[in-house]
Amino acid sequence: MTVLVAVGDSREGQAALDAAIAEAQKLNTGLVVLNLSLSPLQLPSIPDGLEVRTAERHGAEDRDPVDAVLDEIANDNAIERLVIGLKRRRPIGKAILGSISQRILLEAEIPILAVKVN
Amino acid sequence: MSHGTHSSIESHLPPDTKGPHTSRLGLIAVVATFGGLLFGYDTGVINGALEPMKADLGMSAQIEGFVVSILIFGAAIGALIGGKLSDLRGRRENILMLAVIFMIGTLGCVFAPSWEVLAVFRFILGLAVGGASATVPVYLAEIAPAERRGSLVTRNEVMIVSGQFAAFIINFIIFRIAGENSDVWRYMLVVAVLPAIALLVGMLRMPESPRWLVSQGRDDDALAVLKQVRSPERAAAEMAEVHLLAEEEKESQTGGVSDLAVRWIRRLILIGVGLGVFQQFTGINSVMYYGTQLLQDAGFSNNAAIAANTLNGLFSVLGITVGILVMNRIDRRKMLLGGFILTTTFHILVGLSAFLIPDGSPIKPYFILVFVVLFVFSMQATIGPLVWLMLAEIFPLKIRSFAIGICVFTLWIANAFVAFMFPPVVQTLGIAPTFFIFAGLGVLAILFITTQVPETRGKSLEELEDQFRAQYS
pLDDT tens digits along B278-327:
999 999 999 999 999 999 999 999 999 999 999 999 999 999 999 988 88
* Mean pLDDT for the stretch of residues B235-242: 87
**Pairwise CB contact (< 8 Å): B396 & A58:** no
Provide the residue ranges of all domains of chain A, joining segments of one domain with +: 2-116
Find the closest chain B residue to A40 by CA distance. B462
B326/B375 Cα distance (integer angstroms): 18
Q: Do A39 and B465 touch (CB under 8 A)?
A: yes
The per-residue pLDDT for range B156-177, each reduced to its tens digit, is 888 899 999 999 999 999 999 9
Q: Output the pLDDT for position B12.
A: 64
* Candidates A37, A39, A60; nearest CB to B253: A60
Q: What is the CATH number of domain B255-473?
A: 1.20.1250.20
> In B, which residues are within 8 Å of A63 by CB distance?
253-256, 258, 402
Question: What is chain B's mean pLDDT, rounded?
Answer: 90
User: Cβ contacts (< 8 Å) between B399 and chain A: which residues?
Assistant: 38
pLDDT for B402-447, tens place per residue?
999 999 999 999 999 999 999 999 999 999 999 999 999 999 999 9
| Contact between A57 and B265 using a beta-carbon 8 Å cutoff | no
Does the CB of B269 have a partner CB in chain A at under 8 Å?
A: no
pLDDT at B255: 86
Asked if A97 lies within 8 A of B260 by C-beta distance, the reply is yes
| DSSP helix/strand/coil, A88 | coil
B260 vs B289, residue with greater confidence: B289
Task: Give the minimum alpha-carbon distance from A24 to chain B in angstroms, rounded to a whole number.
Answer: 28
> 10 Å Cβ neighbour count for A108?
18
Backbone φ and ψ for A13, nearest 5 degrees, come out as -60, -45
Using the predicted structure, report yes or no on whether residue B461 has a pLDDT greater than 80: no
So what's the pLDDT on residue B89?
A: 92
Closest to B432 (Cα-Cα) out of B361, B352, B317: B352
pLDDT at B6: 41
Nearest Cα residue in chain A from B248: A59
Report pLDDT for B9. 44
Chosen from A63, A69, A100, A104 to mutate, greatest number of chain B CBs within 10 A: A63
Contact with chain A for residue B470, Cβ under 8 A: no
Alpha helices by DSSP H, listed for chain A, are 11-27, 65-75, 91-97, 100-107
Q: Do A8 and B256 touch (CB under 8 A)?
A: no
Cross-chain residue pair A9–B251, CB shorter than 8 Å: no
> The CATH number of B22-206 is which of 1.20.1250.20, 1.20.1050.10, 1.10.10.10, 3.40.50.720?
1.20.1250.20
Q: Which pLDDT tens digit goes with each residue over A9-31?
A: 888 899 999 999 999 999 999 99
Our separate counts of H helices and E strands in chain A read 4, 5
Q: Which residues contact B244 (CB under 8 A, 6 or more apart)?
A: B9
CA distances from A101 to A111, A115, B436 (A): 14, 11, 49
Decide if B257 and A37 are in contact by the 8 Å CB cutoff. no
Instruction: Return the pLDDT at B467.
Output: 83
Domain A2-116 CATH superfamily: HUPs (3.40.50.620)
Q: Do B261 and A39 touch (CB under 8 A)?
A: no
Of A9, A57, A59, the CB nearest to B262: A9
Cα B366 to Cα A111: distance, rounded to the nearest angstrom? 77
Three-class SS string for B125-171? HHHHHHHHHHHHHHHHHHHCCHHHHHHHHHHHHHHHHHHHHHHHHHH
